[in-house]
Amino acid sequence: MKRFLPLTPFALTLLLLAVPAANAQVEFENVQGDHVAITINGEAFSNFFYGPAYTKPFLAPLRTASGLVVTRHWPLENPEGESRDHPHHKGLWIGFGEINGVNFWETEPASKTSAGDSDIKGKLVLASMGDMKPGKKSGSLAMTFDWDAPQGTDLVEQRVMTFEGTKELRIIDVDSTFTAKKDLKFGDTKEGFFAIRLADSIAGKNGGIMTSSEGAQTEKNVWGKPADWVDYDGTVDGQKVGVVIFDNPENPRHPTRWHARDYGLFAANPFMGKDVDKSITGGYSMRAGEQIRFRYRVIIHPGDYSKKKIGELYDAYKRKAS
């Protein structure tokens, strides 16, 4: 019978370090009332900008588990040769082109208003900072935002963002509940709603490929169509990467339609209708005091993930949601 000597504390420490953790430590640092820095396993992942210098909050940049940046740097940075269109496209954000005649999508002063959307610009203002919970497996941020029109607050949004990391993946869950402060209508426009501006090298015009849960590929076949999820694959610094957005099966208008473009805009928009087909009625009306809730998951993954594997990840997400 073999006998095993007990491990010394030093040997036990070495053994624990050698075993890769399934999930990674998530930590936050609130930086001067301007943004929250998010790290996963001690490495920079993203920043959540919410301060008074910004007309709507956003996460930027987004990184892979290996540290590659999958979102466009501009307009926060000015790398040579990068595209300079749509200054309101910053990282990951939520916004919409027309609510009661006010534009909550193209909110930046330099942004040109899209045809058919309002020239009256609103802004999202931090109303209160909620819990900031770091964790060994995941971490979450909670904040409340006022969607302010020139005449007052139209909507109040309670947003919780949860972050998780594994050896290969970076995962963001966004859970937003909107309360109408007055009777209002989300207009019928393509400009919205849950969005990411991807790095130029991932964009379809530069060889990136978008694929929907329905098996459709390219902007022509994905844009405006309903799907449970869309995966956008490309390269960063010569390495294959991918970003997928999951539409929660409990979301209103599920499966959502997709405002996904070859130049790198990647958005889920449950309210678009006439821009896809004039026979489709879009928009959404709310009475004062009513609430509506949306949940999305973003997974940043290696670019060699099969669509079968993406589908399995969605099935697991769907089981968790039900």
Please give the pLDDT value at position 17.
37
Please give the pLDDT value at position 7.
43
Q: Domains in the chain, start-ordered, CATH in brackets?
A: 69-321 (2.70.98)
Residue 1 confidence class, pLDDT cut points 50, 70, 90: very low
In whole angstroms, give the CA distance from residue 118 to residue 97: 7
User: Do 68 and 75 contact (CB within 8 A), yes or no?
Assistant: no
State pLDDT tens for residues 14-51.
333 333 446 789 999 999 899 999 999 999 999 999 99
Reported as half-sphere exposure (CB side, CA atoms, 13 A), residue 251 has a value of 27
Residue where the block lists tokens 């599920």: 254
**pLDDT of 8 above 60:** no
% of the chain residues with pLDDT over 70: 93
- 16 vs 76: which has the higher pLDDT: 76
Peptide bond into 61 cis (omega under 30): yes
Q: Which of 72, 112, 52, 13 is nearest to 197 (CA)?
A: 72
- pLDDT (mean) for 143-164: 96
State pLDDT tens for residues 216-268.
999 999 999 999 999 999 999 999 999 999 999 999 999 999 999 999 999 99
Please give the pLDDT value at position 118.
79
**pLDDT of 114 above 60:** yes
- pLDDT (mean) for 172-187: 97
**What's the DSSP call for residue 275?**
T
Please give the pLDDT value at position 111.
84
- What integer best gives the mean pLDDT of the chain? 92
Please give the pLDDT value at position 22.
64
**pLDDT of 73 above 50:** yes
**pLDDT of 201 above 50:** yes
In whole angstroms, give the CA distance from residue 210 to residue 108: 28
- 35 vs 117: which has the higher pLDDT: 35
Please give the pLDDT value at position 97.
96
Residue where the block lists tokens 């998780």: 164
| Burial of residue 132, with CB atoms counted within 10 A of its CB: 0-12 exposed, 13-18 middle, 19 or more buried | middle
- pLDDT (mean) for 47-63: 97
Residue 212 confidence class, pLDDT cut points 50, 70, 90: very high
